[in-house]
Amino acid sequence: MQRKYDEFKAKNAEILAIRVDDLTGADNIASRVGITFPVLYTSGDSSVMEAYDVYSGSLAIPSVFVINPQGEIAWQFISPNYTQRVLPERVLRNIP
């Protein structure tokens, strides 16, 4: 998503990453790979992931949600395989 971040911004969209780990883990991954969009951390609280039905035991399921200006889910990608990620181009095509 980072490599296409300017294109997301051009569509007046924002990326928010949510991680189940603590701030140290979230900061570490963000700084290590050069992420400049916001990374939110839950300090082990899985309630956000559970609310979106993307939490399986101790792992968050890789997922992307496009939320429209009305706060509704306009598009989603949920992968049952933690090694599969959606391409940023596909997400960009689904931004209303």
Residue 40 corresponds to which tokens in the numbers above?
Answer: 């939110």
In this structure, are residues 77 and 52 in contact, taking their beta carbons and an 8 Å threshold?
A: no
**CA-CA distance, 55 to 57, in Å (whole number)?**
6
* Average of per-residue pLDDT across 37-43: 82
* Average of per-residue pLDDT across 62-91: 92
pLDDT given at position 25: 58
CATH architecture of residue range(s) 2-93: 3-Layer(aba) Sandwich (3.40)
* pTM (global) more than 0.95: no
20's CB contacts (< 8 A; 6+ apart) are 41, 42, 44, 45, 46, 49, 55, 60
